[in-house]
Chain A
Amino acid sequence: MAFDWLFFLEVLIAGLLSGAMYSLVALGFVLIFKASGVFNFAQGAMVLLAALTFVRLVEMGAPLWLAGVSTLMVMVVLAMLVERLVLRQLVNQAPIILFMASIGLNFFIEGTAQGVWDSDVHALDLGVPDLPIDVFGMLISQFDIFAAAMVAALVVVLAVFFQKTRIGRALRAVADDHQAALSVGIPLQTIWVVVWSVAGVVALVAGLVWGSKLGVQFSISLVALKALPVLILGGFTSVPGAIIGGLIIGAGEKLAEVFIGPFVGGAIESWFPYMLAMVFLLFRPQGLFGEKIIERV
């Protein structure tokens, strides 16, 4: 039987659109890692907190804009608390200590989010129909196209923020060299609050997209697992890396599941991205766009 190229293209497009949604989660990791050197294990929990806060406010009668603004305020308060109670206390500690702290933070945020709101599943309708459109016989989800557009818009906004604003330039300075940034008077603590707040915004966008796809519930915190191979592939410090990495992982896992899966019993898309990332690590440990670490002795 002849190879069905149209179907291949359909799988590839579906994979790229999924990958864009993985990038959305990976972006939050990258922002925090760049500015504070923390691999934020709690990013998934932040997605859950943001989505749960938003959807519960909407259910209580708040209009979408008010729910969005209120949730952003919650994420800013969270950023301030994290800076005051965690980061400030752990200045100059080894990265593994910061990582362990973020694991604790993860459980705290997960528990608080479910304790304050609930652990039920909530439907979230953003008004975008989740129906397929027919393109040359391929079915492509309207919602996935909308989600990809959201990712693109977010990347543009982040790029403008980092490149064109004063605070954005300060963020880049901190990311490049903490000591040098401090020496020219950039307040590190303020920058951490800003970065964690921006990561909170990214978490909100990710929470809205994944929440309206799956329903807002605990499981959306697990989307962080999808971001890990993206980070390994794209690099922990690169925004373009998170995007390109997401697209490669999304397309790779879907193509592998559809065209290799049937020969090995299926259900390979959960581990295939990790295998791909591991193979990649052998050749480029810093990821596609990560900064090459040069240690002088």
Chain B
Amino acid sequence: MNLSEFGRNSIWAAIIAVPMMISPAAAQQFIPVTTYDTGPYAVNGQPFMDGFVDYLKMLNARDGGINGVKLTWEECETGYKPDRFVECYERLKNKGEAGASLFNPLGTGLTYAVIDRAPQDKIPVISLGYGRTDASDGRVFPYIFPMVTNYWSQSTAKIKFIGQKLGGMDKLKGQKIANVHHDSAYGKETIPVLAKQAEIYGFEVTHFPVTHPGLDQKATWLQIRQYKPDWVILRGWGVMNQTAIKEAARIRFPRDQMIGVWWSCAEQDTVPAGAAADGYICAGFHAAGQDFPLIQDILKHVYDKGDGAGSKKAVGTILWNRGVVNAFLSVAGIKTAQKKFGNKVMSGEQVRWGLENLNLTAADIGSQGATGLVPPLKLSCLDHEGGGGVKFQQWVGDHWEMVSDWIETDQSIVRPMIEASAAKYAAEKGLTLRTGMSLGSECP
């Protein structure tokens, strides 16, 4: 080939190749993954976000994404610090073809940090089983979704569970409950609803705050020993949990009368506590284990190909499963939005519509191989929670055993409190409530 021939061929190659290179790439739905792989809560953050990413990877590998739209994501390390989460939020909110689909902060304080920003940016924030409880009122918090079951609802299920153990709700009268809580926005979240329930059922509740990180709780538990409660409710996070369980053993408080929140309810909390954790009971809004077709698909399409986000031994553990459930519900919102707006990349505003119109029936859950993993739920523009139930599980040495069915939450207590609290927030902030809505109605 002489020089001029080489030149001609090169020009033809360029003419053919350049349009191919600049042709539009396949549509990609961007989902920010804000996580904490470092710091005192990395123990919990890592498996959660591994599960989240593994589900997205599985959808891409098995289905090519959602209805032909590939999923793409970028991780950002928050260290469980609100200021760093805000940095991540600002950095990622405009990424992707239509910006960030939604955010999952994985922290109540982190969620609080973007409550005012999310409506301005029109990006939904899912706070799955955490966050500000009154954000369940979609009239005041149009972009915040404390989905499945919020803290107040969970608290009503806990008291119902205790009532069941005692043989009836009337037996709660005169009982003494110690609320051992992380001294933070998250830990204090249930104080109002416990006060309300104490008033209704006639039990006594005393609050015992524990400061971060909760390495040494002797003083707290000596006070509890003096108080002589019938039940202890544990609202801890991270190292606070196993320390509390061990301290309970040290004062010989029965672990099966100790009921933890779902953030005190993972293998990371019980295994380090050793034998002290035997009998410990806690709440959950999803199941543990690998015996679900959906999780088998993740093993087949992700882990068997050596593409898992984390260690295979984490698959099926509580926090890994919670990450999967979080991603499952996020995707369910995007899918619902696609039904209305078409099978293309959804904007944050469209995903918000999808979440508000999410109606996840038992049949839908079954068709996706997640029966028993996630409870059915139905959201609306008024109700951003969805009415999920709560199951209770007990640690039996090396694994969890379910000790209850799904217990319905008591919305007759919770909903008026949510609306009153949200209205107060709206008045303080000078917000105008979205109007023309009622529970279960079509969203505007």
Contact = CB atoms under 8 A, between A and B. Distances in A.
Interface of A: 4, 7, 10-11, 14-15, 18, 21, 110-111, 114, 119-123, 125, 130-132, 139, 141, 210, 213-220, 222-223, 226, 253-254, 257-258, 261-262, 265-267, 269-271
B250 A132 contact: yes
Interface string B226-254: 10000000000011001100100111100
Contact of A15 (B218, B226, B251): B218
B160 to A, nearest CB: 28
B226 A7 contact: yes
Given A11-B222, A213-B246, A121 B208 contact: no
A182 B251 CA distance: 55
Contact of A132 (B211, B252, B268): B252
Contact of A266 (B209, B213, B242, B249): B209
Interface stretch (B38-46, B84-92, B328-336, B373-381): B38-46
A139 B212 CA distance: 25
Contacts of A265: 209
A218 B271 contact: no
A122 B272 contact: yes
A228 to B, nearest CB: 14
Contact of A123 (B42, B251, B252, B274): B274
B26 interface: no
B223 A262 contact: yes
A218 B250 contact: no
B43 A214 contact: no
B225 A130 contact: no
A219 B213 contact: yes
Contacts of A216: 272
Contacts of B419: none
Contact of B43 (A210, A218, A223, A271): A218
Interface string B201-225: 0000001111111011011101101
B272 A130 contact: no
B249 A14 contact: no
A60 B300 CA distance: 28
A25 to B, nearest CB: 11
Contacts of B212: 270
B258 interface: no
B349 interface: no
B256 interface: no
B219 A217 contact: no
A262 B39 CA distance: 31
Given A121-B272, A267-B210, A130 B216 contact: no
